[in-house]
Structure 1
């Protein structure tokens, strides 16, 4: 319950911002208030903003009422800079407009685009942005800039600071500035002349202080995000350049970035990587030093060097992509992952030879081998990017994984790293490991910590003080190289920088934010114990998700990420509920459960795409299925079992319903039909199914047709969906999918075999997705038995025309029969049996969640390219959100998941997928008529002349 100023603020702001985007309840404030750090604050109010005008209204009102605000993008922040106990402003995924300059050298971005989305936009032009954090798939531009996040390749030459052109900003007092617009700058000079004069004076003082200027130049020769970017004070004379470069890395404590314009950088496509194994960390660090000096002298080209110590290798050695021999290494072996890029393949070969020659003197335990194979080196880099979450996943349940981020001068790298390892031993962190961007002297070290024990907190404090003394004092390095100061290192800025520089930083904060309302406690914090307060617990909740470290890598793939909750947020809430129950707070737990029903249970698509983005494959969809099963009553399970045992009768009922809906549509027309069904949904509070023009007609398939006996045989199992649902009333196709598939198979000279009693057969997915596990198992076993018989125990391949059903069969069946969905069957069989003639028409394809999890995304593109000269693949569309039949009852999930589909499929003439229900939702949201890819394959093929 809000009180005092917060209630007044809510009353006023809710007249200016949509109420559905303002959250004050305990579930949403906890869920949205969580970031990837090991700190936790619960905001009083969370507001999701769709545009800069909304942010401006919030900041202006909060300034008038003296209430602090914190800005938050994706929340992949690791140092506690994206949390608040006051007002948390979140940039929603709608806050994502962009512009690319005509010559492609600049890109202007709103804050909610992820780094990966941005690079996808630039990829067709051979460009990318400079910053390349490991979290680039999830991290948003606002956070990347506000934290000066760098990464594996950009170093300090292509980070946000170095590639910044201009910004649009909102200041603490509500003032707005576009540093790329002369009119805006002139207006700002008039309204904030004293501010600019004071800023200029700070810069002049700094330049005139030779000792301070020298210190700044020295410390920014390596990566440094500890404190403010005071290098801007000596790098620039123009006050607007100083101002905007100070914003980089300021972590939302000086202003809000409503738009940033980057200079783009070249994205060289010819690359090679080598995973090298040195005898120990000292030898590896010495190799890094030689590589760095050679690169700086421009005698070699090396773009990235990532170090992984033996403990880091051990955490990933069981990954299928890693070589088996790693398991046999001794405890000292250290790896370097090295990448070099070139303008062409010939130059790349030269660079590889130069690198191999340079490293000949070093003691390696395996021969150095550079690979140009895209799949091979992409796997290596994917594993490296997921190393932090992967390490966190093997921690003891209930402990927190901590990642620190330091940088050393390259000449001290080997000595400093050995000392860091000695500190691990001194303080008993035997599980600690080191990895990171070695070429920049930037290492991350990871260890686990129990914050529930005061003695353990004391151990952590003593360890961190020793680390600070070693990194900042002895080696004159950076306590934060790229993860930002946050709350984590705020207490130690003065130790690293000295009193004069720290005083300058405090003056900057006071100038930009005189009331101290922007993200208080971050960067500037006078509490020497700040790093030990508001520590986040990680209680156990369910074995399915307990390894989650709340990094947020999963969020971009989730269809409900903008509508309700993301996988990370679902896990956060379940942890809280479990902890409340353990502590006997059942009433409060029930409050969360009631709030969680819609946001957590009903609007989870259980697509499990989160597991494909998670470095440790956590499947929050499985958690939802588990919770649904827990909720199912004995009566509900009984009904499910009855339906399973009388399945053909159920399908007949479905057909009757579809037939009735179609008949009414014919009688009253589309507009009236939509009006009537929408009214009924309102009356029933969403409990009745949504109707649309993409709703299929009822069909009955005919398996009794004449065919020749042939040597080639295939078992065809039409899914229950495709035995029941046909084309929609607006479809331009003339045949049903069953008839098209039969025609295609016969054209390819196959004899088709159908399993017996097919009307009663089902893979079990409609039951398992709702948590009816017994009914699901029953149907799966029945189908397996029937297919075994039909295929003569696997002698013939089995084709299912629906990808999700195929995936379910593969997961559930115990027998060794070859099951294919449309994509692989077409490539493995039809591509050999038929002659393809590519059409010159633009098409678009949607890879279903099941197909993605089966690794068929690239194969679908390959198949589509056999059929059409132009294949459009929407970059930002993952799961369609229809989720079987969930799209009928929760159409808002489908709509939210496909919010960018129409824009990204513009120009397509035909659209294809491999699942009927997905195709219904895709058709609704795109305006295109989505059908099975078999329609297109049938259209562009003819029988080969044998």
Structure 2
């Protein structure tokens, strides 16, 4: 059922808001309302207007204008909600990047966070204090604080003792009437008690009545001994008597139906640094549950249950124990996590775990791992179980996840009963996993809604599950994922009439007109959970397995400019659905499809960096960039001849590039930076983006004479093939930088210093790995250039006898996937660790340096090695925490400069005080220098400046890399 207003009300609202807000933050076009209106649930509603707010003042204004028109409002954080909490067909409010503020309090014992901070970022901020926030949902790398608090999300380790309800210290909240309350500010509280006396009194009356009703109070206490997020936090009415305390705790888990949390202060919890994990395998579920109960008395941080179907969905993942593939059908596992402040404590706790499981049969000996990569793998697999199930579902179906909690002493019989319910309704592919110590189980199953009878089958299943868990076992229907739309019709069944009526009274006190996220958490519509179901049509095999979880979004460089990978897939699916209808569509649908295609060119294609970072975060490794490159191939079929011409005359193309740089240098000398920028901006706009935008950090042209000069060293030296990329053959040094050498010059100098003899492949000016062509969708020419390069590198390296160093990381990554496996292909970071550091003496510099870990380095698993190399060369290394990819993306820094600018927002502030920055991609360094205010160079430049050949006299002090 829709709760919305007439079209003219939304037009009026947009007109009113446009008087104080820029149009780009008032969004009502079909593409972005569809994309931004989608969350991780299996529901779809398309908002009439999306408003991206930047401040509390704006929010209050938006609420006022919506209230005057009786238009419902829904708040959205990261959109990782699984139960339909963050979808609407009215007004959707999104957070801009200005909502990512934070403040460490009391030496880490507290932290104040704005709602746009990602959960993992909060823990990163607290790590130096060995503290963390209590909630630890599986989506912590993607979900935001606003959603964590609004859903009372918990997770693997926090149980019921460390969730948001238990660890909230204070909050700042905006209510439906626009009033702002800061519970940490005495004057704000006093003012609120005066202005909202009736609300405070109403809450205190509800608390007094509830505490006086012994039966209801006991029921509430029982419910919250379990994990429970069904309905409002009624425990606030038995835990507190003061209206402010009650209000503060009611906001937790209220899913945006009572107000907007504009900041929250958490009491943090210890984060013990020493960690170990074991994957305990048991012959059947009964034994697994017995082990769970035994572990309740052990000093464990988490115990995660996985049934055989869950293990089957991940058993083929790289690094997983081979034994998983041979487990008997009824087997199950517990992932046991143990932590301590030091190794001795950790070992003692491991011993206690072994003692607790004494006499309980396991299929394999219990072995703990402390090795970080294996430990992280176990947890990555566990956190990715839900999306992993999505990857094996039938195309066109969705994935349903629910999370229930049984009293832990009845876990075994509850699991068996739940399994039987699934079998009886024909859901043989359901999997079970969850937080065993809390009796909290997630059940996940693929579900289609298109075929006749499927909705009825789903309803019958849910009706029986709800009765089983909520009535027969006295458990909770929603342990930690929030009530949402999927469980709102069942809240009364779980809680009973008295408690349910209490919840409606709470809603009426805060939001009497029911304009805040209506139909979520409470609803009188018994079929709400069966309406507005999201279609997931087949669109492309590259992305059909996506379940729109949103895990990919934090690392996407276009997330604050246009679309994220999830949103690109959402719109692509809609385009595929419309294309499949063919001529059956109406004129309106045809116009809609045409508009989507037009807008997708910029929103989906032009502003996609295609960096592949999305695949590193996706539990099923979907690289949305591959989809976009295919789209570019189809769009640019007519340009294949030009691509072939460039590829066959590549030396001339790079000479032309150097000539253009020389011309730009002359133009800058005549016009100055401002004049050159203004002139190029006009040309860029008039040409429709085809003329590159001039940047003040544009380098000088590179000189390639060095490649024709005799190389240093003699025949007795170890040899390495050095391949200068086309980028370093075109772009020289930054004219503002004191480092005047090109990347080629400093690389050769460093190799010579390390006693390595460089072999330059034949015809180096003509060679290209093909990535530049592939990124434009010119796959045939990309393959041709790769074949050329492969031939020359095999010859130069004597069929792989010598390693190949390429000075540009993205090119190296591309070559690793396209060239002969006999070649050892390395970029600067990996090469430095293996071949340079052992041959050099290092005297680290004392000034702070900035480091940009390129997306290609991350994809190659070199991010830690990159930081390690920088720290070997400098005593202070700054890695900006929120920048994952610069989005220069070859030439997009010139053709779509707003993408590069958006991706590097905040860089200058992050690196303030650094003398220089370092990376391993020349084009990336251009954009980084443009938006940071400091020069960026190759990481090999840093290594060269602080190193001497083994045995050479060392300088008295470390190098000073300050610009001259």
Report the TM range for the smaller structure's normalisation.
over 0.9
Aligned to 2:455: 457
Indicate which of 146, 152, 158 corresponds to 1:148: 152
**CA displacement 1:462-494 (0-9 Å, x = unmatched):** 011110011001100000000000001001011
Preserved contact between residue 93 and residue 113 of structure 1 (Cα < 8 Å): no
Map 1:167-206 to 2 at 5 A: 167-206=171-210
Aligned to 1:297: none
Q: Does 1:652 align with 2:652?
A: no
Map 1:706-717 to 2 at 5 A: 706=710, 707-711=712-716, 712-717=718-723
Which secondary structure state, in structure 2, belongs to the residue aligned with residue 812 of structure 1? coil
Q: Does 1:891 align with 2:897?
A: yes
Preserved contact between residue 710 and residue 750 of structure 1 (Cα < 8 Å): no
**CA displacement 1:754-791 (0-9 Å, x = unmatched):** 11111111011111001011111111110110111111
For residues 559 and 421 of structure 1, the distance between their equivalents in structure 2, rounded to whole angstroms, comes to: 43
Q: Does 1:745 align with 2:712?
A: no
CA-CA distance at 1:864 after TM superposition: 1.1
Give me the CA root mean square deviation.
1.3
Aligned to 2:35: 31
Structure 1 residues 176 and 369, CA gap change in structure 2 (3 angstroms): same
For residues 329 and 504 of structure 1, the distance between their equivalents in structure 2, rounded to whole angstroms, comes to: 49
Map 1:831-846 to 2 at 5 A: 831-846=837-852
Q: Does 1:494 align with 2:492?
A: yes
**CA displacement 1:692-733 (0-9 Å, x = unmatched):** 221011122122323342231111110011011101211120
For residues 108 and 755 of structure 2, the distance between their equivalents in structure 1, rounded to whole angstroms, comes to: 51
Q: Does 1:773 align with 2:776?
A: no
CA-CA distance at 1:670 after TM superposition: 1.9
Map 1:622-701 to 2 at 5 A: 622-634=626-638, 636-701=639-704
**CA displacement 1:525-553 (0-9 Å, x = unmatched):** 00111111111111010000000000000
Aligned to 1:859: 865
Preserved contact between residue 2 and residue 44 of structure 1 (Cα < 8 Å): no
For residues 809 and 79 of structure 1, the distance between their equivalents in structure 2, rounded to whole angstroms, comes to: 43
CA-CA distance at 1:930 after TM superposition: 0.5
Q: Which is further off, 66-75 or 195-204? A: 195-204
Which secondary structure state, in structure 1, belongs to the residue aligned with residue 98 of structure 2? coil
Indicate which of 942, 945, 948 corresponds to 1:942: 948
Preserved contact between residue 713 and residue 752 of structure 2 (Cα < 8 Å): no
Map 1:769-848 to 2 at 5 A: 769-848=775-854
Aligned to 2:959: none
For residues 713 and 43 of structure 1, the distance between their equivalents in structure 2, rounded to whole angstroms, comes to: 62
Aligned to 2:958: none
Q: Does 1:162 align with 2:192?
A: no
Aligned to 1:524: 522
Preserved contact between residue 34 and residue 75 of structure 1 (Cα < 8 Å): yes
Q: Does 1:590 align with 2:588?
A: no
Preserved contact between residue 16 and residue 57 of structure 1 (Cα < 8 Å): no
Q: Does 1:126 align with 2:124?
A: no
Q: Does 1:235 align with 2:239?
A: yes
Q: Does 1:368 align with 2:371?
A: no
Aligned to 1:603: 607
Q: Does 1:393 align with 2:391?
A: yes
Aligned to 2:256: 252
Indicate which of 476, 479, 491 corresponds to 1:478: 476
Indicate which of 319, 322, 332 corresponds to 2:320: 322
Preserved contact between residue 693 and residue 728 of structure 1 (Cα < 8 Å): no
For residues 274 and 103 of structure 1, the distance between their equivalents in structure 2, rounded to whole angstroms, comes to: 33
For residues 433 and 931 of structure 2, the distance between their equivalents in structure 1, rounded to whole angstroms, comes to: 44
CA-CA distance at 1:685 after TM superposition: 4.6
CA-CA distance at 1:905 after TM superposition: 2.0
For residues 157 and 903 of structure 1, the distance between their equivalents in structure 2, rounded to whole angstroms, comes to: 37
Preserved contact between residue 305 and residue 437 of structure 1 (Cα < 8 Å): yes
CA-CA distance at 1:746 after TM superposition: 1.0
CA-CA distance at 1:425 after TM superposition: 0.8
Preserved contact between residue 734 and residue 935 of structure 2 (Cα < 8 Å): no
CA-CA distance at 1:803 after TM superposition: 0.5
**CA displacement 1:494-530 (0-9 Å, x = unmatched):** 1100000000001001111100100010011001111
For residues 159 and 192 of structure 1, the distance between their equivalents in structure 2, rounded to whole angstroms, comes to: 28
CA-CA distance at 1:102 after TM superposition: 4.1
For residues 386 and 17 of structure 1, the distance between their equivalents in structure 2, rounded to whole angstroms, comes to: 39
Which secondary structure state, in structure 2, belongs to the residue aligned with residue 505 of structure 1? helix
Preserved contact between residue 455 and residue 530 of structure 2 (Cα < 8 Å): yes
Which secondary structure state, in structure 1, belongs to the residue aligned with residue 172 of structure 2? strand
- Give unpaired runs (5+ residues) of structure 1: 295-299
Aligned to 2:962: none
**CA displacement 1:81-117 (0-9 Å, x = unmatched):** 1000100001123211111114322111111111011
For residues 314 and 149 of structure 2, the distance between their equivalents in structure 1, rounded to whole angstroms, comes to: 30
- Give unpaired runs (5+ residues) of structure 2: 953-964
Q: Does 1:343 align with 2:349?
A: no
**CA displacement 1:276-335 (0-9 Å, x = unmatched):** 00111111111111222x1xxxxx311100001000000000001201111011111101
The TM-score, its normalising length taken from structure 2, stands at: 0.96
Q: Does 1:89 align with 2:97?
A: no
CA-CA distance at 1:588 after TM superposition: 2.9
For residues 389 and 96 of structure 2, the distance between their equivalents in structure 1, rounded to whole angstroms, comes to: 30
Aligned to 1:302: 300
CA-CA distance at 1:815 after TM superposition: 4.3
CA-CA distance at 1:2 after TM superposition: 8.1
Preserved contact between residue 919 and residue 936 of structure 2 (Cα < 8 Å): yes
**CA displacement 1:656-707 (0-9 Å, x = unmatched):** 1100001111222222222322333344454422212210111221223233
Preserved contact between residue 734 and residue 740 of structure 2 (Cα < 8 Å): no
Preserved contact between residue 302 and residue 340 of structure 1 (Cα < 8 Å): yes
**CA displacement 1:381-430 (0-9 Å, x = unmatched):** 01111111011111000001000110111111011001111111111111
Indicate which of 920, 924, 945 corresponds to 1:918: 924
Map 1:503-542 to 2 at 5 A: 503-542=501-540
Indicate which of 9, 15, 23 corresponds to 2:13: 9
For residues 65 and 307 of structure 1, the distance between their equivalents in structure 2, rounded to whole angstroms, comes to: 49
For residues 175 and 797 of structure 1, the distance between their equivalents in structure 2, rounded to whole angstroms, comes to: 66
Number of aligned positions between the proteins: 939
Aligned to 1:311: 309
For residues 396 and 683 of structure 1, the distance between their equivalents in structure 2, rounded to whole angstroms, comes to: 48
Preserved contact between residue 710 and residue 749 of structure 1 (Cα < 8 Å): no
Q: Does 1:277 align with 2:277?
A: no
For residues 282 and 765 of structure 1, the distance between their equivalents in structure 2, rounded to whole angstroms, comes to: 54
